[in-house]
Amino acid sequence: MHKAPRGTFDILPQEHAYWKYAEEKAVSLCLLYGYQPLSTPIFEDAQLFTRTVGGGTDIVDKEMYVFQDKGGQELALRAEGTAPVCRAYLEHGLFNLAQPVKLYYIGPAFRYERPQAGRYRQHHQFGFEALGEADPVLDAEVIEMAWRLFISLGLSGVSIQLNSIGCKLCRPGYLEVLRQHYSGYAERLCSDCKARLTRKPLRLLDCKQAVCQEIAGTAPKTTDHLCHECRLHFETVHGYLGTLGIPFYLNHRLVRGLDYYTRTVFEVEPQEKGGQSSLGGGGRYDDLIETLGGNPTPGVGFAAGLERIVLNLKRESPDIPPLPRPVAFVAYLGPEAKIEALKIASELRKAELAIIMATGDKSLKGQMRQANSLGSTYAVILGKEELSNRNAILRDMGSGDQQTVPLTELTRVLKQGQK
């Protein structure tokens, strides 16, 4: 027996009610803010990710699905959403459009990780990006969108964590100060942090080991070492968020696991926190497009994990609209009626009515059971008697009322009854 590969899963019809709900909310949010859809391939040149996400990050070093195709191309399954969007922006000359260019995407991403709740090897990301504009008002817009997404989904108690990690001008200076702070404690650090000290010093800040937390607690803050422009930018973002009434918490330990972030970084946490709690995260990436060979072009964006949204939807269970049900189930008795049922089902479907036709020559009782379990609004019943009079019985499955309707009237009556 084959099983879905480790860390992957099937989304069964029942489940899709949640997914459809989440995706529809996400898409309508984006359209509301003027973000347009962009779909990118499921695999890309591996370099696209190694150059942007950064060597030394776990994503690049140990989690990417990298393979060679038959032409010897080194490809990688999409590891995250932002770099492909920037690639498409450059490839199609979207910098020639009025800036900023606002795009959104929904699609799978792949990382070879140890699966657990809320963490999969294939997960689905929804994200939006605004490219070509450095105005802090866009940072605020993106954060507002992230906030509004979860509000519109009906998830209560989500919170936004905010920080600024500076730019390529001020960050080196900060990292120096940070290393100095840690130099006295090098012996006491956990083994991971000893490695971070030279490779990824920013990540020292979000280590969860008790010892390291203590040291990180007294560490210098990124926000105290921002250059003038970065500080101004950050303060302006605060101001705009205040104007918008978006609540947020400053978190001086918030850094992100991808190298391309500059200045604003933020994360969205649900009310109920667990191991894999983060619902989504984002920030500014003003050097990313330049890294890909474009002209210096600022960008800011956000990405959320649909699995984690669905997880929280189930936990809080706001009203999720059920999947659509058939308007009518067409039942028949005997081979002549079956032919007529086939014609009628086809006609009704031409009129955009969702119809399920009986199959397999079951007893009427069996057919009615099926109509019931499918949640059909009506049953259309065709027997010998109805057939000879060119009628059908129309049964309302909710009330149990039934009437005889001429076949020629069936579409009209069902159309009316659909509401």
**Nearest CB to RNA, comparing residues 92 and 343:** 343
Torsion angle, alpha carbons of 396, 397, 400, 402, to 10 = 30
Segment near RNA (CB under 7 A); pick from 41-49, 55-63, 85-93, 178-186: 55-63
Binder among 192, 229, 336, 347 for RNA (CB under 7 A): 192
| CA pair distance 207, 253, nearest whole angstrom | 9
Count of residues binding RNA (CB under 7 A)? 68
Q: Which amino acid is at 365?
A: K
Q: Does 135 bind RNA (CB under 7 A)?
A: no
Q: Does 6 bind RNA (CB under 7 A)?
A: yes
Q: Does 7 bind RNA (CB under 7 A)?
A: yes
Binder among 256, 284, 287, 405 for RNA (CB under 7 A): 256
Segment near RNA (CB under 7 A); pick from 147-155, 157-165, 244-252, 299-307: 299-307
What minimum distance in Å lies between the beta carbon of 203 and RNA? 6
Q: Are 279 and 268 in contact (CB under 8 A)?
A: yes
Binder among 99, 159, 236, 276 for RNA (CB under 7 A): 276
Binder among 25, 87, 203, 233 for RNA (CB under 7 A): 203
What minimum distance in Å lies between the beta carbon of 370 and RNA? 6
- Angle between the 335-350 and 410-417 helix axes, to the nearest 10 degrees? 60
| CA distances in angstroms from 137 to 33, 102, 114, listed in the order given | 13, 14, 38
Q: Are 297 and 280 in contact (CB under 8 A)?
A: no
Q: Does 30 bind RNA (CB under 7 A)?
A: no
What minimum distance in Å lies between the beta carbon of 72 and RNA? 26
Short-list 268, 22, 307, CA closest to 154: 22
**Nearest CB to RNA, comparing residues 157 and 239:** 157
Q: Does 402 bind RNA (CB under 7 A)?
A: yes
Q: Does 313 bind RNA (CB under 7 A)?
A: no
Binder among 230, 279, 410, 414 for RNA (CB under 7 A): 279
Q: Does 257 bind RNA (CB under 7 A)?
A: yes
Strand partners, 403: 394
Torsion angle, alpha carbons of 343, 349, 355, 358, to 10 = 20
Strands in 355-357's sheet, in edge-to-edge order, are 355-357, 328-332, 378-382, 391-396, 402-406
Q: Does 270 bind RNA (CB under 7 A)?
A: no
Binder among 235, 362, 413, 415 for RNA (CB under 7 A): 362
Among left, alpha and beta (phi > 0; psi -120 to 50; other), residue 317 is: left
| CA pair distance 310, 17, nearest whole angstrom | 10
Q: Are 188 and 211 in contact (CB under 8 A)?
A: yes
Judged by the rule CB under 7 A, the positions of this chain that interact with RNA are 1, 3, 6-7, 57-59, 63, 80, 111, 113-120, 123, 125, 192, 203, 206-209, 256-258, 267, 274-281, 303-305, 307-308, 333, 362-366, 368-373, 379, 381, 383-386, 393, 395, 397-400, 402
